[in-house]
Every structure is written in C-alpha cells, then in structure tokens.
C-alpha cells in the first residue's frame, strides 16, 4: 500500500512541474501586434510625421482678371443697348451694359472760384468778404477744391472771365476752371468669347451697321 501512495504523490508532483513550465513559457512569450481583419491603419506620432503634417496648401482660386471679352457698341441710347443685351440673353449668353463717359474737348461750363484756403476759418473770412461786396458765393466742402469758395458756373466764357476780373479787383485771387463736355456711350459686354464666332455676332447685331465688335479686357471677373 505504501508504494501506491508514493506513486500518486510522485505523479502529482510531475503534473505540477509540467503545468508550471507551460505557464512560464506563456509569460515569457513576446507580445505580437494585434491586427484587425480588414483595413489596418497605423497610428503615427507627431514627431514621426514630419512634413506629412504640414498644413495643406490653400486651393488656388481661378482669377479671371485680365480675361478678354467682346463688347458691342457704341450706343448713344441706353434703350438700344438693352435691346442688344436681350438678344444676347436669348442665346443663353451672359452680358452686361458698360457706361463710358468720354470727354469731347469742348468746353461746356466755366467754374469761377477762389482757390482752396489753408483752413476753414480762412475760407469763411474770404466768403464774408465776398458777400460783403455783394458777390454770390459759397464754400466748397468736397473734392480737390475743398476749402475754396465758389462764385458760380457760367456757360458764357465772357461772363466767367468778366467776373474773375471784377473780383480780383477787390484783391481776392480768383481762378476759372473749364469744364469740358462729355459724351456718354453704352457698350454691351459679352463674356463667352469662344462662342461668339462671326455668324453669332451678326445674329446678335441684327443688321445694325452703326455699331462694331471689339475684343477688350473684361470689366469684371467671369
């Protein structure tokens, strides 16, 4: 009976030794990376990223300044320009009316005025002196002639220069500014240059021989 007891004890010790050996192997085994089936993404430290985390370059915006457009004109009447613009729109094109004032070189008015004074107080003193001498006048408050004194606009050249001479006789400096006439023109601008072949331009022009087409820089971005 004693040998059976020792055999059982020895067997238990052997099993305990084998179990302990397996636990040691499991604890000593290196940890392997755990991968999840499917798309695997790797975390990256900021210090490792380097240039990859630089701010993205801003998206370049298309700049249409400097592009060319067709213009049709000139029209002396706004209504005629609107009729052509309506024909442009009927062809699913985009257009607009541009207004251009062109100096004709012909004098239209003569502005008699005292040149700008150094201060408003000085302008007021000049105004009072003129009004005391019965000259109609007022202070100019805006523009290049601000702080000057206006003596009026005249269509007649002789009247303007006659007043200048009269006021200067009182010891007050006076100048005459010649205001030239301007001619207003209306031009229709069309953006889609590539679609405006000669046939299309003739269709839009509708037989109007008084106007022409010109290729110019667009007045606004596309």
CATH number (domain holding residue 201): 3.30.70
State whether 88 and 176 are in the same domain.
no
Residue for token pair 């007022």: 138
CB 128 within 8 A of CB 134: no
pLDDT at position 62 is 39
Q: How many CB atoms lie within 10 A of CB 34?
A: 5
CATH number (domain holding residue 159): 3.30.70.1070
pLDDT tens digits, 26-35:
444 443 333 4
Please state the domain count of the chain. Answer: 2
State the burial class of residue 186 (Cβ atoms within 10 Å of its Cβ: 0-12, 13-18, 19+).
buried
State whether 198 and 96 are in the same domain.
yes
pLDDT tens digits, 87-128:
999 999 999 999 999 887 778 899 999 999 999 999 999 999
Give the predicted TM-score (pTM) of the model.
Answer: 0.46
Residue 129, H or E segment: helix 120-132
State whether 79 and 171 are in the same domain.
no
Which parts of the chain have pLDDT scores under 50? 26-65, 221-222
pLDDT at position 45 is 42
Q: Would residue 129 count as lying in a domain?
A: yes
State whether 96 and 201 are in the same domain.
yes
Q: Looking at the DSSP assignment, which residues form a beta bridge with residue 98?
A: 187
State whether 145 and 166 are in the same domain.
yes
State whether 143 and 198 are in the same domain.
no
Q: Which domain holds residue 78?
A: 68-103+183-217
Q: Would residue 123 count as lying in a domain?
A: yes
24: which 2 tokens? 């040691």
Q: Which of 89, 97, 104, 46 lies closest to 73, judged by CA?
A: 97
Q: Would residue 159 count as lying in a domain?
A: yes
């Amino acid at each position: 009976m004693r040998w059976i007891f020792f055999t059982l004890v020895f067997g238990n010790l052997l099993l305990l030794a084998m179990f302990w050996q397996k636990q040691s192997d499991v604890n000593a085994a290196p940890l392997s990376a755990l991968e999840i089936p499917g798309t695997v993404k790797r975390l990256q430290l900021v210090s490792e990223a380097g240039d990859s985390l630089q701010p993205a370059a801003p998206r370049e915006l298309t700049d249409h300044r400097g592009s060319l457009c067709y213009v049709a004109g000139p029209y002396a009447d706004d209504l005629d320009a609107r009729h052509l613009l309506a024909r442009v729109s009927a062809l699913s094109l985009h257009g607009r009316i541009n207004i251009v004032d062109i100096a004709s070189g012909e004098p239209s008015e003569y502005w008699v005025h005292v040149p700008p004074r150094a201060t408003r107080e000085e302008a007021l003193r000049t105004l009072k002196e003129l009004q005391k001498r019965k000259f109609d006048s007022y202070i100019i408050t805006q523009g290049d002639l601000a702080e000057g004194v206006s003596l009026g606009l005249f269509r007649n050249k002789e009247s303007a220069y006659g007043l200048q001479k009269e006021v200067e006789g009182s010891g007050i400096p006076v100048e005459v500014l010649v205001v030239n006439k301007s001619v207003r023109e209306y031009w229709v601008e069309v953006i889609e240059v590539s679609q405006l072949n000669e046939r299309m331009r003739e269709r839009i022009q509708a037989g109007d021989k008084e106007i022409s087409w010109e290729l110019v820089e667009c007045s606004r971005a596309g």
